Amino acid sequence: MTKFSDLNLNPKVLKAIDEAGYETPTPIQAGAIPPALEGRDVLGIAQTGTGKTASFTLPMLSLLARGRARARMPRSLVLCPTRELAAQVAENFDTYSKHLKLTKALLIGGVSFGEQDKLIDKGVDVLIATPGRLLDHFERGKLLLTGVQVMVVDEADRMLDMGFIPDIERIFSLTPFTRQTFFFSATMAPEIERITNTFLQAPARVEVARQATASETIEQGVAIFKPSRRERADSEKRKLLRALIDAEGEACTNAIIFCNRKTDVDIVAKSLKKYGYDAAPIHGDLDQSQRTRTLDGFRNGELRFLVASDVAARGLDVPAVSHVFNFDVPGHPEDYVHRIGRTGRAGRDGKAITLCNPRDTKALAAVEALIQKDIPRLENPLKSDKPEDEAVQEDAPKKRRSRSRKSEDAPKAEPETEAVEATEAEEPQKPARKPRDKGGRGKDNKVVGMGDDMPSFIAKSFEERMAS
């Protein structure tokens, strides 16, 4: 069995690995580190949770152990799709570079430019950044990328989903042609493959698992439900989520709940808190300080439920997540694999439960086609549980219909006759219309041209005029 000591890493890096408690590399690490140390480009494909971060961190530190950084010219560059993943990569560098005199800078949004500029001005060996913030610094004239010796693109397929590919191509064009490139992804979409063919030179391809496969340690299940009415679908879905959490009992020590939309993240988190569940949201629209506090609370066990968008689906290393709940079936089947990969990490057992309503059946079928297996159907814990208010509302239309049928079946002639007779009895009899001649006068030569209801004083005025 291969050990880290067999991989020709820098002795100081090996010491840090040993102090961290690791001895045997994962398959992606064992396959990627040797060609990386030889100076070759590396294309790594592996499912989430397999240790891709250390696959490029360890050889980078060994390659950068000698040399010195110059102001505003980093020696290496790591691009990550999200702030959280960039921060996690920075933590890995801190862990494994503790015995090396290397400097790093983390360039992410939500943090002031001033502090980041100070670090860049001093010169950094390792620059870890999200694409947008990196280009912001470059356009402000605070950063030069002509000294980059090693460049890493982490979670490349997520970069594609988030629309970062044009930025990635531009950043590649700003770095030297002689750089060494590490390209890591969980899946290989056609667009990703085009970029690797353009910017990587004869890369060593390391693929340790079939693309887009879920770990065998994760127990999967899907709860199918049909809402009673369209306008109640969302509230009934949230009620089903609470019932599924309760059904897991103490086995659900903590969980990540994924939603497709940021608005649903806030709504679901608020709903869970309303019913006494310890939950908090995390998505791209929140302040970085709030996102950091929420993640730290979840990692430390202070927060039980993390309601997240797909910003938290990639690369976040929280080892002991017992459950993942997909409140929505993801629109992209690959996202399903990344979501449920948050549980069952490092050989632990995990459980992933997906909620599916009739409109999500096509998306569910696409997920099952991707992972090449049928996800077991779970019994709906609310199947026989119908709220009283729903029963009343469903019965109300039936009662109205029954009353209308009775009115249709009842005899109509007698009631109508009685109503007419009552009306005629109550209303005073109208005077009979007087016959008129062609001049608009009656036979008694009185003016009646303004109708039967003409006030008598008006007729009187006409009579006086006629008399005169």
94: domain CATH number is 3.40.50.300
Tell me, what's the pLDDT at 409?
46
Tell me, what's the pLDDT at 398?
41
Tell me, what's the pLDDT at 413?
44
Nearest Cα residue to 74 out of 139, 17, 127: 127
Nearest Cα residue to 16 out of 95, 125, 90, 89: 95
Same domain? For 163 and 224 the reply is no
Tell me, what's the pLDDT at 399?
41
Is there a domain that residue 428 lies in?
no
How far apart CA 302 and CA 126 sit, in angstroms, is 32
Q: Where are the beta strands (DSSP E) in 259-313?
A: 279-282, 305-308
Find where tokens 């002639």 sit.
413
Same domain? For 237 and 374 the reply is yes
Same domain? For 126 and 231 the reply is no
Is there a domain that residue 415 lies in?
no
Same domain? For 235 and 194 the reply is no
How far apart CA 74 and CA 71 sit, in angstroms, is 8
Same domain? For 102 and 48 the reply is yes
Is there a domain that residue 162 lies in?
yes
Same domain? For 257 and 364 the reply is yes
Same domain? For 33 and 168 the reply is yes
Same domain? For 230 and 376 the reply is yes
Is there a domain that residue 212 lies in?
no
Is there a domain that residue 106 lies in?
yes
Domain boundary among 185, 207, 229: 207
Same domain? For 147 and 235 the reply is no
Q: How far is CA 3 from CA 47, 135, 154, 236, 319, in A?
A: 21, 39, 24, 52, 22
Q: 10-residue block means of pLDDT along the chain (468 residues)?
A: 87 93 90 95 82 91 86 92 88 92 90 89 93 94 93 88 88 94 86 90 85 76 91 92 94 94 92 95 82 88 91 66 94 84 80 93 92 90 54 40 44 42 43 49 51 60 57
Residue 97 lies in domain: 4-207
Same domain? For 276 and 182 the reply is no
Same domain? For 242 and 318 the reply is yes
Tokens of 398: 């039936």
Tell me, what's the pLDDT at 62?
94
Is there a domain that residue 153 lies in?
yes
Nearest Cα residue to 144 out of 71, 67, 72: 72
How far does the chain reach from its first CA to its final CA, in angstroms? 135
- What's the total number of domains in the chain? 3
Is there a domain that residue 426 lies in?
no
Tell me, what's the pLDDT at 187?
76
Amino acid at 456: S
Domain boundary among 207, 232, 259: 207
Is there a domain that residue 410 lies in?
no
Tell me, what's the pLDDT at 412?
45
Which of helix, strand or coil describes residue 13? Answer: helix
Yes or no: say if 152 and 123 are a contact pair by the CB < 8 Å rule.
no
Same domain? For 358 and 443 the reply is no
pTM above 0.75, yes or no: no
Tell me, what's the pLDDT at 1?
60
Domain boundary among 389, 420, 445: 389
How far apart CA 98 and CA 104 sit, in angstroms, is 12
- Find the angle CA(301)-CA(302)-CA(307) to the nearest 5 degrees: 90
Which of helix, strand or coil describes residue 70? Answer: strand
Nearest Cα residue to 97 out of 20, 177, 42, 191: 20
